Chain A
């Protein structure tokens, strides 16, 4: 235990409290506004109601956007699981020239500002490939920056479990596929579920890359972005906002429980880069 003077200890406690308050007040405020019974956004709110939840759930725009977001999230997650796992197996189980480059390549889509990734994909889709911007292009964009979270979780798990069980399986006569199915995969399963949950949460919230790849498709964040300035829609925007927060925090919480490799571990900080961006 470190020896600190009482004064220093108290200063640190106060600093911690200030920072935590700063972080959490806005999140609490949006939760309260979702129950605001007035259309006015002034503080303090006058009364509480659940009406806007009902209205939001029956709003066709919100419903369509929610559906689009779910499809985009599931599509991107599926691709990210496949590619992230493959890359992780290669990096964690083989030694080859350019192995460090793979890790760099996987992180790059979220290390660069979202607007760069978005612009790059937009230019490629519209100018080079000549494809229309649809749900498909959104999924391609999201998958690109989601690979990293699956990859990070899978690599961490593979490094931790080591190769002895796989070697034993080999010695007992199991081929590569059988070894993967009966030994490697069961060891990786929870890490992959955690990675998938994070990838989904990431995709569900993303707006910048989405804006550049969505064309006329509306995901929930884009719906908010097009409606936040319409006074009539504000109460519904507040509800959708709370929905987004809750739906992205639940997967992250579950992922944290599932994965024994803490998500806060170095490298995963980078993985969260995209979360903030979008």
Chain B
């Protein structure tokens, strides 16, 4: 890596020599495409999104008026339904994050500290594969499993219990399922970095398992845990597919989707889409303070 060390000038064609003498030009040629694409197409679009959130819909014609103002944000704050949707989304995102942390820790610890190298490699693949397999299909499968005649009720029925059916509990369950690998992998990487000697030392000094976990492992693994939570939190905030398939409740994503597709109120949708961005910015700032970025 790094800038080229002084080297002999290549005895190559004129163009090659021309480029070799101008590493800056080489660099600009390399960067023009990707930076052009990401800045113009992507950052440009994000800027449009923020500008569009200031536009409004003409009440009579239903046409978009490109006339900046804060009415959409006013509407978001003033409408109780929207407020409770934001709260509900953030609450579920937090619950999902906690659930995934609890489910991820044992397997991550087992992978990092107990399993043999062969088993460890196998487990990493086993956790990684579902992460890449179709997200929509996974949600859809849960829909089948949670339905009245589905597998969950079939399993619980003999014990005299009933499945959660469709609703908030189902949404929480499916989100936890979907994002679990995102929590396992960073925690695994974080735990792997903790020297065994620290854990052994804690035991040798008489700390019971629980104390070692609480006083040694957890503080050292915290940045990794926060890194994982960035995914579980962020992914929940923007999703509308899961709530659509396994509940009839509205989440931030549903409102955005409905306003773009059905109500055709792009400005309001744009304004609502900035809410997860704002929440994530605050979340990322906190995460950075906790040292999570080194664990990503």
Contact = CB atoms under 8 A, between A and B. Distances in A.
State yes or no: do A and B come from one complex: yes
Interface of A: 1-5, 7-9, 11-16, 18-20, 22-24, 26-27, 29-30, 33, 40-44, 79, 82-84, 86-87, 89-90, 92-96, 102, 105-106, 108-109, 111-117, 119-124, 126-128, 140, 143-144, 147, 151, 158-159, 163, 167, 170-171, 173-178, 198, 201-202, 205, 207-208, 211-212, 221, 224-225, 228, 237-238, 241-242, 244-245, 248-249, 252-253, 256, 262-264, 266-267, 269-270, 272-273, 275-278
B137 A3 contact: no
B107 A19 contact: yes
Contact of A90 (B27, B104, B241, B260): B27
Contact of B296 (A109, A269, A275): A269
Contact of B10 (A82, A163, A175): A175
Interface in B104-136: 104-107, 109-111, 113-114, 123-136
B contact patch SS: helix
A102 B3 CA distance: 16
Interface string B35-46: 101110111111
Contacts of B96: none
A245 B137 contact: yes
Given A12-B114, A175-B10, A276-B131, A19 B104 contact: yes
Given A12-B109, A43-B149, A106-B38, A90 B124 contact: no
Contacts of A266: 186, 189, 295-296
A129 B180 CA distance: 39
Contacts of B130: 23-24, 27
Contacts of A245: 133-134, 137
B23 interface: yes
A11 B34 contact: no
Interface of B: 1-5, 7-8, 10-13, 15-17, 19-20, 23, 26-27, 30-31, 33-35, 37-39, 41-46, 48-49, 52, 64, 66, 103-107, 109-111, 113-114, 123-138, 140-145, 147, 149-151, 154, 177-182, 184-186, 189, 196, 199-200, 203, 209, 231, 234-235, 237-241, 245, 252-253, 256-257, 260, 266, 269-270, 273-274, 276-277, 280, 295-296
Contacts of B137: 30, 224, 241-242, 244-245
A132 to B, nearest CB: 16
Contact of A95 (B3, B41, B276): B3
Q: Which 4 A-B pairs have the closest CB atoms?
A: A113-B238, A175-B16, A15-B106, A42-B149
A123 B52 contact: yes
Most chain B beta-carbon contacts within 10 A, residue among A87, A158, A167:
A87
12 contacts: A3-B203, A15-B110, A86-B34, A96-B27, A105-B42, A105-B43, A121-B41, A127-B52, A127-B266, A237-B140, A256-B128, A266-B296
B270 A178 contact: no
Contacts of B295: 266
Most chain B beta-carbon contacts within 10 A, residue among A13, A23, A119:
A119
Most chain B beta-carbon contacts within 10 A, residue among A18, A112, A151:
A112
Contacts of B186: 266, 269
Contact of B245 (A22, A27, A205, A228): A228
A26 B141 contact: yes
Given A127-B52, A252-B128, A159 B1 contact: yes
A44 B85 CA distance: 36
B107 to A, nearest CB: 4
A79 B42 CA distance: 14
Nearest to B64: A127
A40 B147 CA distance: 11
B10 A124 contact: no
A119 B269 contact: yes
Contacts of A202: 132
B83 to A, nearest CB: 19
A242 B38 CA distance: 34
A19 B103 CA distance: 6
Given A147-B34, A205-B135, A123 B45 contact: yes
B114 A275 contact: no
